[in-house]
């Protein structure tokens, strides 16, 4: 059988799961005051537990690169060992440093042989961009295998101490020292962890493999302004000013490096555009959506489950809820790692049968990109 196949999947989730009530004991309280946005955000997103790669003192227990390497280690076996890896494609939103790149740092932790690598940088679609690079490499005959990953270390960026300078500045200006909801919102949305897939040019005989039938990715940044951002501030006209244009004092005073979300823009645009794109793909591929057995949507919040279900019906796309497979409420939103974490769980569930089709959906709100992938169980 020719093609590109996901032959193994793995994950690394750091430390113990953290409940909603424990979150502020890890992240801290900004200006010593409990968050006013926490309750509303958690009620909406439906997340019950998540994972942090920090302890209660804010000390790091694992770097992003370390978590990713630990996930990759679990892929290795007698058929493909570390010395056999031909391509390493590592996607993330939250690399440990600006330079060297994330994949380089993972390679250093992994200590395998010399290898081709790439570091897709973005938000939730970064892992799917890594997957497409690996897929294309094998399809072109350049490599016979590839390891692709999605991972995040976001907890360190959400610590209350990173907002102290901003609250101090607001106090000096005699203003209420409460950071804006666009910054506070994401503190209760995001989680840490790493996931990895092994791609090969042939399926495994005695275990589940998934054939990649197609993988489509498209950005709509030409139409829409920035929605989620870090290392920048958003201006009233919708443009952004990057961190290099600010003084080092302003980085702290304005919490420039904090992750921020334009919540109104997110709610208005993320679902309609993604659904329209899905319809275009289905028409182009002449694919009958009724033939899928599983739908794996990357949901940042359970709020979007109903919105997606309502929107797809407008395009005569019917995916019953019993076909939806997610783990958001238990693992949290791990950004670029989330979609592979779902694939890993489903592959190891014992539920899959040969011939079943699986549709992956990854919306990215940073500046509205979308990825869809069709898999067939072998």
pLDDT tens, position by position, 95-140? 999 999 999 999 999 999 999 999 999 999 999 999 999 999 999 9
Alpha-carbon distance of 47 to 71, in angstroms, equals 23
Instruction: Say if CB 194 and CB 102 are below 8 A apart.
Output: no
Structure tokens given for 300: 């940042």
Look at residue 161 in the predicted model and tell me its pLDDT: 87
Please tell me which residue, 87 or 258, carries the higher pLDDT value. Answer: 87
**pLDDT confidence bin for 168, thresholds 50/70/90:** low
pLDDT by residue (tens digit) across 240-288? 999 999 999 999 888 899 899 998 999 999 999 999 999 999 999 999 9
Whether 189 and 243 map to the same domain: the answer is no
Alpha-carbon distance of 20 to 27, in angstroms, equals 11
Alpha-carbon distance of 291 to 295, in angstroms, equals 11
* Of 76, 92, 54, 80, nearest in space to 194 by CA: 92
Look at residue 73 in the predicted model and tell me its pLDDT: 98
Alpha-carbon distance of 370 to 218, in angstroms, equals 6
Exposed / middle / buried, residue 104 (Cβ in 10 Å: 0-12, 13-18, 19+):
middle
Whether 114 and 219 map to the same domain: the answer is no
**pLDDT confidence bin for 55, thresholds 50/70/90:** very high
Instruction: Say if CB 155 and CB 22 are below 8 A apart.
Output: no
Q: Which of 205, 226, 248 is the last residue before a domain boundary?
A: 205
Q: Which residues sit opposite 375 in a β-bridge?
A: 212, 358
Alpha-carbon distance of 103 to 88, in angstroms, equals 7
Whether 129 and 260 map to the same domain: the answer is no
Whether 219 and 94 map to the same domain: the answer is no
Whether 272 and 335 map to the same domain: the answer is yes
pLDDT by residue (tens digit) across 328-362? 999 999 999 999 999 999 999 999 999 999 999 99
Whether 136 and 107 map to the same domain: the answer is yes
**pLDDT confidence bin for 327, thresholds 50/70/90:** very high
Q: Which of 151, 171, 205 is the last residue before a domain boundary?
A: 205
Instruction: Say if CB 96 and CB 102 are below 8 A apart.
Output: yes
Q: Which residues sit opposite 266 in a β-bridge?
A: none
Q: Which of 148, 170, 205 is the last residue before a domain boundary?
A: 205
Q: Is the pLDDT of residue 177 over 70?
A: no
* Of 345, 301, 347, 335, nearest in space to 128 by CA: 335
HSE on the CB side for 257, CA within 13 Å? Answer: 19
| Mean pLDDT confidence for 170-175 | 49
- Integer-rounded Cα radius of gyration of the chain: 21
Q: Is the pLDDT of residue 164 over 80?
A: no
Element (H, E) at 99: none
pLDDT by residue (tens digit) across 187-197? 999 999 999 99
Q: Angle, nearest 10°, between helix axes 126-139 and 338-347?
A: 60
Task: Look at residue 116 and give its three-state secondary structure.
Answer: strand
Alpha helices in the chain (DSSP H): 23-27, 38-45, 64-73, 102-110, 126-139, 164-172, 181-187, 248-253, 263-285, 303-314, 328-331, 338-347
Q: How far is CA 61 from CA 191, 220, 289, in A?
A: 14, 37, 43
Q: Is the pLDDT of residue 67 over 90?
A: yes
Look at residue 287 in the predicted model and tell me its pLDDT: 98
What is the percentage of the chain residues whose pLDDT exceeds 70? Answer: 95
Residue where the block lists tokens 């990713």: 68
Whether 193 and 253 map to the same domain: the answer is no
Q: Is the pLDDT of residue 170 over 90?
A: no
Give me the number of domains the chain comprises.
2
What is the percentage of the chain residues whose pLDDT exceeds 90? Answer: 88
Alpha-carbon distance of 311 to 317, in angstroms, equals 9
**Lowest model confidence (mean pLDDT) among 37-41, 183-187, 222-226, 238-242:** 183-187
Mean pLDDT of the chain: 94
**In which domain, by residue range, is 128 found?**
5-205
Whether 89 and 53 map to the same domain: the answer is yes
Look at residue 181 in the predicted model and tell me its pLDDT: 59
**The CATH number of the domain where 63 resides is what?**
3.40.47.10
Instruction: Say if CB 71 and CB 149 are below 8 A apart.
Output: yes
Instruction: Say if CB 298 and CB 361 are below 8 A apart.
Output: yes
Task: Look at residue 221 and give its three-state secondary structure.
Answer: coil
Whether 194 and 287 map to the same domain: the answer is no
Whether 47 and 188 map to the same domain: the answer is yes
Look at residue 218 in the predicted model and tell me its pLDDT: 98
Whether 52 and 174 map to the same domain: the answer is yes
Look at residue 26 in the predicted model and tell me its pLDDT: 97
Q: Is the pLDDT of residue 28 over 60?
A: yes
Alpha-carbon distance of 373 to 212, in angstroms, equals 7
Look at residue 173 in the predicted model and tell me its pLDDT: 45
Whether 160 and 244 map to the same domain: the answer is no
């Amino acid at each position: 059988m020719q093609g590109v196949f996901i032959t193994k999947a793995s994950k690394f989730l750091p430390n113990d799961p953290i409940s909603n009530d424990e979150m502020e004991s890890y992240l801290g309280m900004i200006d010593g005051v409990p968050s006013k946005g926490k309750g509303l955000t958690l009620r909406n997103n439906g997340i019950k537990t998540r994972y942090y790669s920090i302890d209660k003192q804010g000390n790091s227990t694992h770097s992003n690169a370390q978590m990713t390497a630990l996930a990759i280690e679990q892929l290795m076996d007698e058929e493909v060992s570390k010395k056999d890896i031909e391509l390493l494609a590592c996607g993330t939103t939250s690399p440990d440093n600006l330079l060297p790149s994330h994949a380089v740092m993972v390679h250093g932790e992994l200590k395998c042989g010399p290898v081709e690598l790439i570091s897709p940088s973005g938000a939730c679609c970064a892992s799917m961009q890594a997957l497409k690079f690996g897929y294309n490499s094998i399809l072109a005959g350049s490599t016979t295998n590839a390891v692709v990953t999605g991972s995040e270390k976001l907890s360190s960026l959400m610590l209350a101490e990173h907002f102290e300078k901003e609250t101090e500045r607001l106090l000096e200006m005699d203003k209420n020292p409460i950071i804006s909801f666009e910054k506070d919102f994401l503190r209760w949305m995001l989680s840490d962890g790493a996931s990895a897939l092994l791609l090969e040019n042939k399926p495994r005989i005695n275990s589940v493999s998934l054939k990649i039938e197609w993988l489509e990715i498209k950005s709509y940044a030409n139409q829409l302004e920035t929605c989620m951002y870090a290392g920048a501030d958003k201006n009233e006209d919708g443009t952004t000013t990057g961190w290099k244009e600010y003084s080092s004092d302003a980085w702290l005073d304005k919490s420039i490096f904090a992750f921020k979300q334009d919540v109104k823009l997110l709610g208005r645009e993320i679902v309609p555009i993604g659904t329209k794109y899905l319809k275009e793909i289905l028409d182009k591929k002449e694919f009958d959506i009724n033939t899928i057995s599983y739908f794996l949507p990357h949901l940042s919040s359970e709020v979007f489950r109903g919105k997606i279900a309502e929107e797809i019906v407008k395009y005569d796309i019917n995916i019953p809820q019993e076909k939806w497979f997610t783990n958001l409420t238990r693992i949290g939103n791990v950004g670029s790692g989330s979609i592979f974490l779902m694939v890993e769980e489903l592959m190891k569930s014992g539920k899959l049968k040969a011939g079943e089709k699986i549709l992956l959906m990854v919306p990215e709100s940073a500046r509205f990109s979308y990825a869809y992938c069709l898999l067939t169980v072998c």
